Amino acid sequence: MKLIEAKHYQDMSQKAARFIIEKVNRLPAPVLGLATGGTPLATYQCLREDHENNGTSYKHVYTVNLDEYVGVAPDDNNSYTYYMKKQLFDHIDIPPSHTHLPDGMAEDLEAECRRYESLIERLGGVDLQLLGLGLNGHIGFNEPGTPFSSETHTVELTDSTREANARYFDSLSSVPSQAVTMGISTIMRSKQILLLVSGAKKADILAKLLSEEPNEDTPASLLKMHQDVVIIADSDALSIVKERGITY
Ligand code: GLP
């Protein structure tokens, strides 16, 4: 794993955006794996600004998102589909048919999970997977204990994840209890992974994932088994790593 230190959230976001833009400019048909949550918000803002100011084009880009809530319609403003449109897709020139998220409204969720895996395969796999980090070490919605071998599947969200995401909903009770997420094995098949970590709240879990041997109780620690992972973390997120002198 390669660790890039950023000064603060904005610096992390600019570095992440540059990383993505380099792929977009260099590859003939890049497949970007995208994430939601608070962490990548300013990265998407940098991509929007770069598109507007420098004309970076996304006509040749394909995207697959990590996850989507079950039972939340795409046009509901709490869906990840809505988030992606609002934060990125509606502001750049990517053809809507090139953008993909799991369908959390599918009647047959198992079939939907299989469809999503085949779709990623048909696209030729993910070139760059963007990831945020859950407070309990989850990646996508792969909660602690998710098997290394998991592919796209339906998950029951833990209370801590529902509480962490409640800020986007009217109340905790309206946070869905299930989601469809790429599995650990799906994520590990990406050619390259970019993990973004920001803020003092994430300092503990970042220290844990860097110091532990890969284990399924801290899903993000499994990323150590991938050959090309880049972490961009800001100084608040790195505070405990530095304090304890953790090397990895
Ligand atoms: C959510 C998302 C994850 C995200 C994580 C961290 O549960 N499903 O993909 O990485 O939370 O969120 P945040 O970036 O808001 O801290």
- How high is the mean pLDDT of the chain? 97
Q: Does domain 2-244 have CATH number 3.40.50.300?
A: no
Q: What is the pLDDT of residue 212?
A: 95
pTM over 0.85: yes
Which of 219, 187, 200, 220 shows the shortest CA–CA distance to 1?
A: 220
Q: Is 67 in the pocket of ligand 1 (CB under 6 A)?
A: yes
Question: 223 alpha carbon to ligand 1 midpoint, in Å?
Answer: 16
Residue whose C-alpha is closest to residue 219's, from 134, 135, 132, 137: 137
Q: Delimit the domains of the chain by residue range.
A: 2-244
* Active site (annotated) includes residue 136: yes
CA 91 – CA 194 distance, rounded (Å):
22
Catalytic-residue membership of 67: yes
Q: Which residues of the chain have pLDDT under 50?
A: none
23: amino acid identity, one letter? K
Query: How much is the pLDDT for 98?
Result: 98
> Could you tell me if the CB of 39 is within 6 A of ligand 1?
yes
**DSSP symbol at 199:** S
User: Counting Cβ atoms within 10 Å, is residue 173 exposed (0-12), middle (13-18) or buried (19+)?
Assistant: exposed
Query: What does each C-alpha distance from 168 to 25, 38, 47, 70, 165 come to in angstroms?
Result: 33, 10, 23, 16, 6
Tell me how far the alpha carbon of residue 33 lies from the centroid of ligand 1, in angstroms: 14
Residue 236: per-residue pLDDT: 98
Each residue's pLDDT tens digit, 227-237: 999 999 999 99
pLDDT at 156 (0 to 100): 94
Rama region for 124: left / alpha / beta (φ>0; ψ in -120 to 50; rest):
left
pLDDT attached to residue 247 = 86
Amino acid 194: pLDDT: 98
Residue 236 bears catalytic tag: no
Instruction: Determine the pLDDT at residue 248.
Output: 76
